[in-house]
Amino acid sequence: MARSRKVTVSTDTHGHTSGWAETDAAPPAPDPTAAAFFDVDNTMMQGASIYWFARGLAARNYFTTGDLLRFAWQQLRFRVLATEHAGDMSQAKETALAFIEGWRVDDVERLAEEIFDELMAPRIWAGTRRLAQGHLDAGERVWLVSAAPVEIGRIIAARLGLSGAIGTVAEVADGAYTGRLVGDLMHGPAKAEAVTQLAAVEGLDLSRCTAYSDSSNDLPMLSTVGRGVAVNPDSVLLREARQRGWEVRDFRTGRRAVKIAVPSTAAAGLVAGAVTAGLALHRRRHRGS
Protein backbone atom coordinates (compact mmCIF):
# COMPACT_ATOMS: atom_id res chain seq x y z
CA MET A 1 0.00 0.00 0.00
CA ALA A 2 1.37 3.41 -0.96
CA ARG A 3 2.07 5.79 1.89
CA SER A 4 1.57 9.54 1.82
CA ARG A 5 3.67 12.25 3.46
CA LYS A 6 1.99 14.21 6.21
CA VAL A 7 3.35 17.51 7.55
CA THR A 8 2.62 18.40 11.17
CA VAL A 9 3.26 21.78 12.76
CA SER A 10 3.80 22.19 16.50
CA THR A 11 3.20 25.39 18.44
CA ASP A 12 4.17 26.63 21.88
CA THR A 13 1.69 27.73 24.55
CA HIS A 14 1.51 31.21 23.01
CA GLY A 15 0.52 29.85 19.61
CA HIS A 16 3.87 30.54 17.92
CA THR A 17 5.23 27.99 15.50
CA SER A 18 8.09 26.17 17.15
CA GLY A 19 8.94 23.58 14.55
CA TRP A 20 7.63 21.00 12.14
CA ALA A 21 8.17 17.36 11.39
CA GLU A 22 7.45 15.13 8.44
CA THR A 23 5.87 11.73 9.03
CA ASP A 24 4.56 8.89 6.91
CA ALA A 25 0.79 8.39 7.04
CA ALA A 26 -1.08 5.54 5.41
CA PRO A 27 -4.23 6.43 3.44
CA PRO A 28 -7.46 5.21 5.01
CA ALA A 29 -8.35 1.60 4.33
CA PRO A 30 -11.27 1.19 1.92
CA ASP A 31 -14.57 0.57 3.67
CA PRO A 32 -16.55 -1.91 1.54
CA THR A 33 -19.66 -1.39 3.65
CA ALA A 34 -19.85 2.40 3.23
CA ALA A 35 -21.02 4.45 0.25
CA ALA A 36 -22.35 7.89 -0.61
CA PHE A 37 -25.50 8.65 -2.60
CA PHE A 38 -25.86 12.00 -4.35
CA ASP A 39 -29.00 13.48 -5.86
CA VAL A 40 -28.12 15.18 -9.15
CA ASP A 41 -30.38 18.17 -9.86
CA ASN A 42 -29.34 21.24 -7.84
CA THR A 43 -27.23 18.97 -5.62
CA MET A 44 -24.43 17.78 -7.89
CA MET A 45 -25.37 20.09 -10.75
CA GLN A 46 -26.82 23.59 -11.04
CA GLY A 47 -30.28 23.06 -12.46
CA ALA A 48 -31.79 19.89 -13.86
CA SER A 49 -29.87 17.40 -15.95
CA ILE A 50 -32.91 16.65 -18.12
CA TYR A 51 -33.37 20.39 -18.71
CA TRP A 52 -29.81 20.72 -20.00
CA PHE A 53 -30.33 17.59 -22.08
CA ALA A 54 -33.45 19.21 -23.54
CA ARG A 55 -31.50 22.39 -24.27
CA GLY A 56 -28.87 20.36 -26.06
CA LEU A 57 -31.57 18.70 -28.15
CA ALA A 58 -33.08 22.11 -28.95
CA ALA A 59 -29.67 23.34 -30.11
CA ARG A 60 -29.64 20.35 -32.47
CA ASN A 61 -33.09 21.32 -33.80
CA TYR A 62 -34.96 18.44 -32.22
CA PHE A 63 -37.49 20.99 -30.99
CA THR A 64 -37.94 24.76 -30.70
CA THR A 65 -36.77 27.36 -28.22
CA GLY A 66 -40.43 28.13 -27.53
CA ASP A 67 -40.97 24.53 -26.42
CA LEU A 68 -38.01 24.89 -24.07
CA LEU A 69 -39.37 28.13 -22.60
CA ARG A 70 -42.75 26.52 -21.99
CA PHE A 71 -41.01 23.68 -20.20
CA ALA A 72 -39.03 26.15 -18.07
CA TRP A 73 -42.24 27.93 -17.07
CA GLN A 74 -43.91 24.65 -16.15
CA GLN A 75 -40.94 23.74 -13.98
CA LEU A 76 -40.99 27.13 -12.25
CA ARG A 77 -44.71 26.92 -11.59
CA PHE A 78 -44.38 23.39 -10.27
CA ARG A 79 -41.57 24.37 -7.91
CA VAL A 80 -43.14 27.56 -6.59
CA LEU A 81 -46.71 26.30 -6.20
CA ALA A 82 -45.67 22.84 -4.95
CA THR A 83 -48.38 21.22 -7.08
CA GLU A 84 -47.05 17.70 -6.74
CA HIS A 85 -49.97 15.40 -6.04
CA ALA A 86 -50.73 11.78 -6.82
CA GLY A 87 -52.39 12.73 -10.11
CA ASP A 88 -49.33 14.70 -11.22
CA MET A 89 -47.04 11.73 -10.61
CA SER A 90 -49.45 9.33 -12.32
CA GLN A 91 -49.42 11.53 -15.42
CA ALA A 92 -45.67 11.89 -15.13
CA LYS A 93 -45.25 8.13 -15.19
CA GLU A 94 -47.39 7.86 -18.31
CA THR A 95 -45.40 10.46 -20.27
CA ALA A 96 -41.97 10.45 -18.63
CA LEU A 97 -40.05 8.81 -21.46
CA ALA A 98 -42.55 8.96 -24.33
CA PHE A 99 -40.35 11.41 -26.17
CA ILE A 100 -37.66 8.79 -26.83
CA GLU A 101 -39.98 6.15 -28.25
CA GLY A 102 -38.25 4.58 -31.22
CA TRP A 103 -34.86 6.14 -30.47
CA ARG A 104 -31.81 3.91 -30.47
CA VAL A 105 -30.15 3.52 -27.09
CA ASP A 106 -26.70 4.17 -28.52
CA ASP A 107 -27.91 7.42 -30.11
CA VAL A 108 -29.29 8.71 -26.81
CA GLU A 109 -26.08 7.80 -25.02
CA ARG A 110 -24.02 9.58 -27.68
CA LEU A 111 -26.18 12.70 -27.39
CA ALA A 112 -25.98 12.57 -23.60
CA GLU A 113 -22.18 12.45 -23.74
CA GLU A 114 -22.01 15.41 -26.12
CA ILE A 115 -24.51 17.48 -24.15
CA PHE A 116 -22.83 16.73 -20.83
CA ASP A 117 -19.53 18.04 -22.14
CA GLU A 118 -21.17 21.13 -23.65
CA LEU A 119 -23.75 22.17 -21.08
CA MET A 120 -23.63 20.08 -17.92
CA ALA A 121 -19.94 19.88 -17.05
CA PRO A 122 -19.60 23.66 -16.49
CA ARG A 123 -22.56 23.50 -14.09
CA ILE A 124 -21.25 20.82 -11.74
CA TRP A 125 -21.05 22.36 -8.27
CA ALA A 126 -17.35 22.33 -7.38
CA GLY A 127 -18.17 22.02 -3.69
CA THR A 128 -20.38 18.97 -4.18
CA ARG A 129 -17.78 17.43 -6.46
CA ARG A 130 -15.24 17.78 -3.65
CA LEU A 131 -17.60 16.06 -1.25
CA ALA A 132 -17.92 13.14 -3.65
CA GLN A 133 -14.16 12.99 -4.14
CA GLY A 134 -13.70 12.88 -0.39
CA HIS A 135 -15.73 9.69 -0.25
CA LEU A 136 -13.77 8.22 -3.13
CA ASP A 137 -10.49 9.12 -1.45
CA ALA A 138 -11.72 7.36 1.69
CA GLY A 139 -12.21 4.19 -0.33
CA GLU A 140 -16.00 4.43 -0.50
CA ARG A 141 -18.19 3.99 -3.53
CA VAL A 142 -20.22 6.95 -4.77
CA TRP A 143 -23.53 6.65 -6.61
CA LEU A 144 -25.75 9.23 -8.27
CA VAL A 145 -29.49 8.86 -7.64
CA SER A 146 -31.71 10.80 -10.05
CA ALA A 147 -35.22 10.88 -11.50
CA ALA A 148 -33.62 11.47 -14.89
CA PRO A 149 -33.20 8.52 -17.27
CA VAL A 150 -30.51 6.21 -15.97
CA GLU A 151 -28.53 6.64 -19.20
CA ILE A 152 -28.01 10.33 -18.40
CA GLY A 153 -27.05 9.53 -14.82
CA ARG A 154 -24.59 6.90 -16.02
CA ILE A 155 -22.90 9.38 -18.36
CA ILE A 156 -22.57 11.97 -15.57
CA ALA A 157 -21.19 9.35 -13.17
CA ALA A 158 -18.66 8.14 -15.73
CA ARG A 159 -17.51 11.67 -16.54
CA LEU A 160 -17.04 12.43 -12.84
CA GLY A 161 -15.27 9.16 -12.09
CA LEU A 162 -18.01 7.90 -9.77
CA SER A 163 -19.10 4.31 -9.17
CA GLY A 164 -22.42 4.38 -10.99
CA ALA A 165 -25.92 5.78 -11.16
CA ILE A 166 -29.47 4.92 -10.18
CA GLY A 167 -32.18 6.46 -12.36
CA THR A 168 -35.50 6.05 -14.11
CA VAL A 169 -35.33 3.01 -16.39
CA ALA A 170 -36.82 2.96 -19.87
CA GLU A 171 -38.00 -0.23 -21.53
CA VAL A 172 -35.83 -1.28 -24.46
CA ALA A 173 -36.66 -3.68 -27.29
CA ASP A 174 -34.21 -4.56 -30.06
CA GLY A 175 -31.89 -1.74 -29.03
CA ALA A 176 -34.60 0.95 -29.16
CA TYR A 177 -36.78 2.57 -26.52
CA THR A 178 -40.46 1.62 -26.41
CA GLY A 179 -41.45 4.83 -24.60
CA ARG A 180 -42.59 2.90 -21.54
CA LEU A 181 -41.05 2.75 -18.09
CA VAL A 182 -39.68 -0.27 -16.29
CA GLY A 183 -41.02 0.19 -12.77
CA ASP A 184 -41.67 3.65 -11.34
CA LEU A 185 -40.09 7.06 -11.70
CA MET A 186 -36.97 7.31 -9.56
CA HIS A 187 -38.53 9.93 -7.33
CA GLY A 188 -39.29 10.36 -3.63
CA PRO A 189 -39.75 7.03 -1.82
CA ALA A 190 -38.58 5.16 -4.94
CA LYS A 191 -35.08 6.54 -4.37
CA ALA A 192 -35.01 5.18 -0.82
CA GLU A 193 -36.20 1.79 -2.04
CA ALA A 194 -33.56 1.70 -4.78
CA VAL A 195 -30.78 2.65 -2.37
CA THR A 196 -31.92 -0.08 0.02
CA GLN A 197 -31.95 -2.65 -2.79
CA LEU A 198 -28.50 -1.58 -3.99
CA ALA A 199 -27.16 -1.85 -0.43
CA ALA A 200 -28.41 -5.42 -0.20
CA VAL A 201 -26.77 -6.36 -3.51
CA GLU A 202 -23.48 -4.56 -2.80
CA GLY A 203 -23.20 -5.59 0.85
CA LEU A 204 -23.47 -2.03 2.18
CA ASP A 205 -24.31 -1.10 5.74
CA LEU A 206 -26.78 1.76 5.34
CA SER A 207 -25.94 3.05 8.82
CA ARG A 208 -22.42 3.73 7.50
CA CYS A 209 -23.65 5.42 4.31
CA THR A 210 -24.25 9.08 3.51
CA ALA A 211 -26.85 10.71 1.27
CA TYR A 212 -26.89 14.23 -0.17
CA SER A 213 -29.82 16.19 -1.62
CA ASP A 214 -31.24 19.67 -2.09
CA SER A 215 -34.90 18.67 -2.02
CA SER A 216 -37.42 17.75 0.66
CA ASN A 217 -38.72 15.19 -1.86
CA ASP A 218 -35.61 13.18 -0.98
CA LEU A 219 -36.29 13.00 2.76
CA PRO A 220 -36.99 9.25 2.45
CA MET A 221 -33.52 8.66 0.96
CA LEU A 222 -31.81 10.99 3.44
CA SER A 223 -33.54 9.20 6.31
CA THR A 224 -32.59 5.74 5.03
CA VAL A 225 -28.86 6.19 5.58
CA GLY A 226 -26.85 6.87 8.70
CA ARG A 227 -25.90 10.40 7.69
CA GLY A 228 -28.06 12.83 5.73
CA VAL A 229 -26.59 16.04 4.32
CA ALA A 230 -28.63 18.91 2.90
CA VAL A 231 -26.88 20.54 -0.07
CA ASN A 232 -28.26 23.83 -1.44
CA PRO A 233 -31.47 22.94 0.41
CA ASP A 234 -34.97 24.15 -0.30
CA SER A 235 -36.76 25.79 2.64
CA VAL A 236 -38.55 22.64 3.77
CA LEU A 237 -35.39 20.53 3.72
CA LEU A 238 -33.42 23.26 5.48
CA ARG A 239 -35.96 23.36 8.29
CA GLU A 240 -35.98 19.56 8.53
CA ALA A 241 -32.18 19.38 8.51
CA ARG A 242 -31.95 21.83 11.39
CA GLN A 243 -34.51 19.88 13.39
CA ARG A 244 -32.66 16.60 12.81
CA GLY A 245 -29.20 18.03 13.29
CA TRP A 246 -28.09 17.20 9.76
CA GLU A 247 -25.16 18.94 8.16
CA VAL A 248 -26.04 21.70 5.69
CA ARG A 249 -23.81 22.71 2.78
CA ASP A 250 -24.70 25.61 0.48
CA PHE A 251 -22.60 26.24 -2.61
CA ARG A 252 -24.87 28.82 -4.23
CA THR A 253 -22.64 31.72 -3.08
CA GLY A 254 -25.59 33.77 -1.95
CA ARG A 255 -27.54 33.51 -5.21
CA ARG A 256 -30.55 31.63 -3.87
CA ALA A 257 -32.57 32.54 -6.96
CA VAL A 258 -30.41 30.18 -9.00
CA LYS A 259 -32.90 27.37 -8.45
CA ILE A 260 -35.60 29.52 -10.01
CA ALA A 261 -33.42 30.81 -12.81
CA VAL A 262 -32.48 27.23 -13.74
CA PRO A 263 -35.39 24.80 -13.42
CA SER A 264 -35.20 21.66 -11.34
CA THR A 265 -36.99 18.37 -11.95
CA ALA A 266 -39.44 17.83 -9.17
CA ALA A 267 -41.36 15.62 -11.59
CA ALA A 268 -40.06 14.13 -14.81
CA GLY A 269 -43.48 14.41 -16.43
CA LEU A 270 -43.17 18.18 -16.82
CA VAL A 271 -39.89 17.67 -18.60
CA ALA A 272 -41.26 14.98 -20.82
CA GLY A 273 -44.35 16.99 -21.69
CA ALA A 274 -42.33 19.81 -23.18
CA VAL A 275 -39.85 17.54 -24.88
CA THR A 276 -42.59 15.31 -26.27
CA ALA A 277 -44.42 18.30 -27.75
CA GLY A 278 -41.24 19.61 -29.28
CA LEU A 279 -40.26 16.31 -30.82
CA ALA A 280 -43.77 15.88 -32.22
CA LEU A 281 -43.39 19.24 -33.96
CA HIS A 282 -39.94 18.24 -35.17
CA ARG A 283 -41.24 15.00 -36.65
CA ARG A 284 -44.20 16.73 -38.33
CA ARG A 285 -41.89 19.31 -39.90
CA HIS A 286 -39.61 16.62 -41.24
CA ARG A 287 -42.50 14.59 -42.62
CA GLY A 288 -43.81 17.69 -44.35
CA SER A 289 -40.44 18.63 -45.86
| Choice among 24, 39, 88, 106 that is catalytic | 39
For residue 159, the SS3 value is helix
Distance between CA 221 and CA 158 in Å, rounded? 22
31 included as an active-site residue: no
41 included as an active-site residue: yes
Distance between CA 267 and CA 264 in Å, rounded? 9
CB neighbour list of residue 257: distance below 8 Å, 6 or more residues apart: none
On whether the CB atoms of residues 178 and 99 are closer than 8 A, the answer is no
* Greatest pairwise CA separation for the chain in angstroms: 83
CA within 13 Å, CB half, 11: 5
Distances (CA, A) of 181 to 60, 62, 226: 25, 22, 31
Distances (CA, A) of 218 to 19, 211, 246: 48, 9, 14
Distance between CA 111 and CA 134 in Å, rounded? 30
| Choice among 12, 24, 31, 41 that is catalytic | 41
Angle between helices 65-81 and 268-288 (to 10 degrees): 160
Residues assigned a catalytic role: 39, 41
